[in-house]
Amino acid sequence: MFTHKFLLIALAVYYAVVLLPALANPKRFSKAVKNMVSDESRVRMMGIMVLIISMIYLSVQHTFTKDWAVLIPILGWAAFIKGVVMIWHPDHFKKMWKKIGSEHAVAIISILGIIIAVALCYVAKELLPGYEIVAG
């Protein structure tokens, strides 16, 4: 069973795994993403995967609360919307990458993403004391 802390830390690890190589070599990362978004079937397939991930987040908590656990439904609904857009309008991501796919922009986005990953780890560790990671 997934818990709030596990989901936040898993997302932070995902950001680190994807964005550290992007920060190390933004030119190569930009080229790889450009190649990926040029194929509509790949974008649609990624949209399906994003929908599955959003459903995992929303199965843990789909309602909004007044504490830091509100991050789970916000991330879940944002991923759901992104997945739907990826499936229905895959050409949108190709146009978007043309605008923000420069090496400089990739480096800035990578730095911001790594900062977000650190913040997610902090929230999971320090600000969600009542939620524990349960094994088994």
**Interval 99-117: pLDDT, tens:** 888 889 999 999 999 999 9
pTM of this prediction?
0.80
How many angstroms from the chain centroid is the CA of residue 107? 17
> Please, what sign has the CA dihedral across residues 84, 87, 92, 98?
positive
- Give pLDDT, residue 1: 47
Beta strands in 1-136 (DSSP E): none
Contact between residue 43 and residue 86 where contact means Cβ atoms under 8 Å apart: yes
**Interval 3-33: pLDDT, tens:** 778 888 888 999 999 999 999 999 999 999 8
Domain boundaries, the chain: 4-127
Instruction: Kindly report which listed range (15-24, 53-62, 63-72) carries the lowest average pLDDT score.
Output: 63-72
